[in-house]
Structure 1
Amino acid sequence: MRGRHVVVIGGGMSGLATAALLAHEGAVVTLFEAHDEFGGRAGRRQRDGFRFDTGPSWYLMPEVFEHFFRLLGTTARDELDLVRLDPSYRVYFEGRAEPFDLPADGAREALLALDPPSASRLGAYLDSAASAYRMATEHFLYTTFASLRPLLNRTVLRSLPRLLRLLTEPLDRFAARHTDDDRVRRILGYPAVFLGTSPRAAPSMYHLMSHLDVTQGVLYPRGGFGTVVDATARLANRAGARLHTGHRVERIVVEHGAVTGVEVSGAGRTRHVPADVVVSTADLHVTEQRLLGAEHRTRSERWWRRRDPGPGAVLALLGVRGELPGLAHHSLLFADDWDGGFRAIFGPRPGVPRPASLYVCRPSATDDVAPPGHENLFVLVPVPADTTIGAGGADGDGDPGVEHVVDDAVAQIGRWTGAPDLPDRVVVRHTIGPADFARDFGAFRGGALGPAHTLRQSAFLRGSNASDRVSGLLYAGATTIPGIGLPMCLISAELVVKRLRGDVSTGPLPEPGTEPGPSRSHAARTPAEPTAGTET
């Protein structure tokens, strides 16, 4: 790989991570980001003393971050100031005055205490989640699927009957077999939203998500998720990658079936940048439909029409006067009409559920991200992936469809969490809608996260990270393998390295100073503890 010229398209987390790893391998890497700052969906916004993250807010799978940093010769402790959240999150259930807190310590016992008659079944569910997580990280998340032979090992073959059951049974049905309590069923099912789908459509293999919050706990990088972006960009620079903002790739240049470079506009001109390899971290739909000529596209229009884009989202960044003790750092509000809410988002006649099951992040509970005497809120309302819902704006100037969703959400949060005057205390308001995701990130149909993790869009069915028609064109990011979320974006960058090396192994790359081998998985390794003195 040393000396090969690589162009990376996009400066989100997957693009920065790809640039860092490839430059560390000795490639000559140039990255182009169309916007004026790095981060992509993991963006940030500042106004009137408030500092908002505009995207990811859950720091899960800490061992994936740690592994990525170790590949680059550093550690999460050296690059980030991590705080362990307690409670990990709070849940409000419609019609119930008291919320449920998942504590940092004793989380398993607290969850089982919600449904004592089902304690043994719930315990088996969590044990199964841990086992499924180990299986995923050791055999599926870190493979390019360029060859299926490494998957035909004794462990996978022995587990095949169980894997088939987990892949074919929906998550909601699997959870319902382990608990009779609707509250627990919702807690176990809601992670499907972060996978871009519903509990009814997600394979029960994804019950592994419960291992992340219940068993591993939830961390937070002090300073916000922009510090994770900054750390990754810093490491890419340190490795020798050249990173450019304000430069848009207009076209991937292909000659005789192989990439030869890209055309880039920026600084008042358009130029050709030669490359041996191009890694696009743009939305796959953008890469194929805008950056490639028709003869070089792998996927047909019929294929795209059948694609599930996952949910859209309406986001609200709120600066609030006064305290909001009813909200934890992470809070979930679950509506009574649980199944109806998902039908509204994913059903044949999509619409915005009212009331919605929604998510609220209050980083000011942990971090200095608001002026004294104020709170900082990030509100996410899942909606259909539909750009006609509209775009957001500042202080109520967004499209009516978006602003009405936010009005309802703010009032709902106030009523449910003991702050009925919340709408009157909002002093800063910025909203974001599906049309913003489509315009700013090229998100397919305005989806907020990426293609849904349904059975047809998971693992090798999600699609290859290398073009079938263009030699030297690779993909990374949430729209390719392994999927949605910051940890998956880091893994997708590693899969680019493996693809270029011709490495078809199923586990993570060996870290410096370690011996390669199938037993050297980081799945069960204890992640680095937060820095002393930063726990809340």
Structure 2
Amino acid sequence: MNTRIAIIGSGFSALSAACYLARDGYKVTIFEKNNTIGGRARQLKKDGFTFDIGPTWYWMPDVFERFFADFGKHPSDYYQLEKLSPAYSVYFAKDDFITIEDTLGKICETFEKEEPGSSQKLKKFIANAQHNYDVAIKDLVYRPGVSPFELMTPVTIKKLDQFFSTIKKDVRKEFKNERLAKILEFPVLFLGAKPDNTPSFYSFMNYADFGIGTFHPKKGMYEVVLAMEQLALSLGVHIKTGQSVDKINVEDNTVTSIRANGETIAFDGVLSGADYHHTETLLDQSYRQYSENYWKKKVFAPSSLLFYVAFDKKLINVNHHTLFFDVDFELHAKEIYDTPKWPTDPLFYASFPSLTDNSVAPEGQEAGIFLIPLAPGLEDTPELRALYFDKIIARFENLTSQTVKNNIIFKESFCVKDFIQDYNSYKGNAYGMANTLLQTAFLRPKLKSKKVNNLYFTGQLTVPGPGVPPSLISGKLVSELIKKHHTLINYESAI
């Protein structure tokens, strides 16, 4: 096969698609605007410290295993995976936190201590979440979002009520303890929406959390990117970095070429793993599927203010992943989704990978990643970044009973402007489009252009949605659509 496919971007979904297409005989070339691959999952290295710029949570290891198995490989062929024990901690006040351990049995014990009788409720809740996981992650998310009938199976018809109730309703009905409820509502934040706007069916995220657990790839999440790059190269994929695509050329409603760094290069098909909205701006107006008004009306996942901080000492009273829920969850959510503004008192998350992995910081020192969820599209200035760093570090010191501000060797930040500049991200969002009821499956932007032949999309603004595992799946789904389309064309040409 000599069919030439250009892929714009080199994030997880783009790399996934590249591997599948190359395996199936396509001539694949990746064009990445930045100087390193990985999209949002790039890496920062400085003075002996290593930080994952983007994703830091490794959930759903079975999805990674399924991806590599499609090529006769296993994650362990490329990187070393460690299950975190404990998985994470959640702070609610000074020296007051709940630690989530590495097995459901231990987590049940924790719940029972916090709220007598809650462990039995938790077991029932997670059993239902596991069933949803089996239905969703092993089946539904591997469907391309072409038709509403994809969701209509004997199992999902029985679960229709779970598409019209919400995570928050289900959790609050069973768990009266506010702290436990917040912990159970937390995983759906990875889907980019509030718990009261996320269908109950998405409780499968709770099974990913409590039932399967949280993992860490040795040397960081970027090792997964490097593994996929190694696989792609072995399959014959060409990867070009520092190549900014600024035009997709179309003739007779069919892709003919792209323009990268001023050079026009002919291709038989184009697949974009870049921001969907941005990709459509590379087309002449008449070939765009979705208007600006369409995008404005969509619910987007948050942006983030991130800090990458090097400390000259080891820290105490924290775990590899630590969440800080000591302020009003509802107010912060409102200031992200309902009345977008810089948060009054932000929840935040911190990761200290050097607690687990001594390869990411010099001996006796600590690498810290701090994240504040923000509404996309906010004003982003150095002064605001500095103000919010001071806010969360002061709280961090108080909550964990330690002083750290004078132990900072350096800090780097990443926020709305950077998401726009580095990833062409719509309004600087960090996670794509939220998985609300009206933005699920066939209701998301399509993998295949409705207006341009041989133009396809993949990644977090299309199906299945936000997150690293869904991105791997998105790449597989679009590769299958491309293969199906070309098989049909070849068949029609032959008759």
Is this a same-fold pair by TM over 0.5?
A: yes
- How far 1:135 moved relative to its partner? 1.2
Match for residue 273 of structure 1? 265
- Paired residues of 2:245 and 2:258 also in contact (CA < 8 A): yes
Aligned residues: 482
Match for residue 411 of structure 1? 394
Pick the aligned partner of 2:374 from 383, 391, 398: 383
Identity, in percent, stands at 31
Equivalents in 1 of 2:124, 2:353: separation in Å? 33
- Paired residues of 1:111 and 1:184 also in contact (CA < 8 A): no
Structure 1 range deviating more: 55-64 or 271-280: 271-280
- Paired residues of 1:85 and 1:220 also in contact (CA < 8 A): yes
Gaps of 5+ in 2: 486-495
Q: What secondary structure sits across from 1:65 in the alignment?
A: helix
Match for residue 350 of structure 2? 360
Match for residue 28 of structure 2? 29
Equivalents in 2 of 1:359, 1:141: separation in Å? 28
1:8-47 to structure 2, matched below 5 A, reads 8-47=7-46
Equivalents in 2 of 1:119, 1:363: separation in Å? 30
- How far 1:237 moved relative to its partner? 0.4
Match for residue 488 of structure 2? none
1:73-472 to structure 2, matched below 5 A, reads 73-95=72-94, 97-105=95-103, 106-113=105-112, 114-149=114-149, 151-157=151-157, 159=158, 162-163=159-160, 165-265=161-261, 270-289=262-281, 291-354=282-345, 356-367=346-357, 368-390=359-381, 399-419=382-402, 421-472=403-454
Q: What secondary structure sits across from 1:299 in the alignment?
A: coil
- Paired residues of 2:92 and 2:325 also in contact (CA < 8 A): yes
Q: Alpha carbon RMSD of aligned pairs, Å?
A: 1.6
- How far 1:125 moved relative to its partner? 1.2
Equivalents in 2 of 1:272, 1:75: separation in Å? 38
- How far 1:366 moved relative to its partner? 0.9
Closer, same or farther in 2 for the Cα pair 1:34/1:237, shift >3 Å?
same
- How far 1:64 moved relative to its partner? 0.6
TM-score by length of 1: 0.87
- Paired residues of 1:478 and 1:489 also in contact (CA < 8 A): yes
Which whole-Å deviations, capped at 9, do the CAs of 1:153-194 have from their partners, x for residues lacking one?
A: 43333x2xx23x222222212210120111111001112321
- How far 1:151 moved relative to its partner? 4.6
Equivalents in 1 of 2:203, 2:165: separation in Å? 11
Closer, same or farther in 2 for the Cα pair 1:446/1:474, shift >3 Å?
same
Equivalents in 1 of 2:171, 2:437: separation in Å? 17
Equivalents in 2 of 1:149, 1:386: separation in Å? 35
Closer, same or farther in 2 for the Cα pair 1:351/1:385, shift >3 Å?
same
Q: What secondary structure sits across from 2:289 in the alignment?
A: coil
- Paired residues of 2:191 and 2:434 also in contact (CA < 8 A): yes
Q: What secondary structure sits across from 2:142 in the alignment?
A: coil
- Matched letter for residue 198 of structure 2: A
Equivalents in 2 of 1:171, 1:13: separation in Å? 28
- How far 1:138 moved relative to its partner? 3.5
- Paired residues of 1:108 and 1:215 also in contact (CA < 8 A): no
Which whole-Å deviations, capped at 9, do the CAs of 1:30-85 have from their partners, x for residues lacking one?
A: 11001100011101111111111111011101011011111122101111110111
Equivalents in 1 of 2:37, 2:109: separation in Å? 39
Equivalents in 1 of 2:270, 2:109: separation in Å? 49
Higher helix share: 2
- Paired residues of 2:143 and 2:150 also in contact (CA < 8 A): no
Structure 1 range deviating more: 27-36 or 123-132: 123-132
Equivalents in 2 of 1:485, 1:349: separation in Å? 23
- Matched letter for residue 214 of structure 1: F
Which whole-Å deviations, capped at 9, do the CAs of 1:253-296 have from their partners, x for residues lacking one?
A: 1110111121111xxxx22221111100111110112x111000
- Paired residues of 2:310 and 2:408 also in contact (CA < 8 A): yes
Gaps of 5+ in 1: 391-398, 504-536
Match for residue 513 of structure 1? none
- Matched letter for residue 70 of structure 1: A
- Matched letter for residue 103 of structure 1: E
Equivalents in 2 of 1:23, 1:183: separation in Å? 48
- Matched letter for residue 14 of structure 1: S
Equivalents in 1 of 2:394, 2:151: separation in Å? 50
- How far 1:152 moved relative to its partner? 4.0
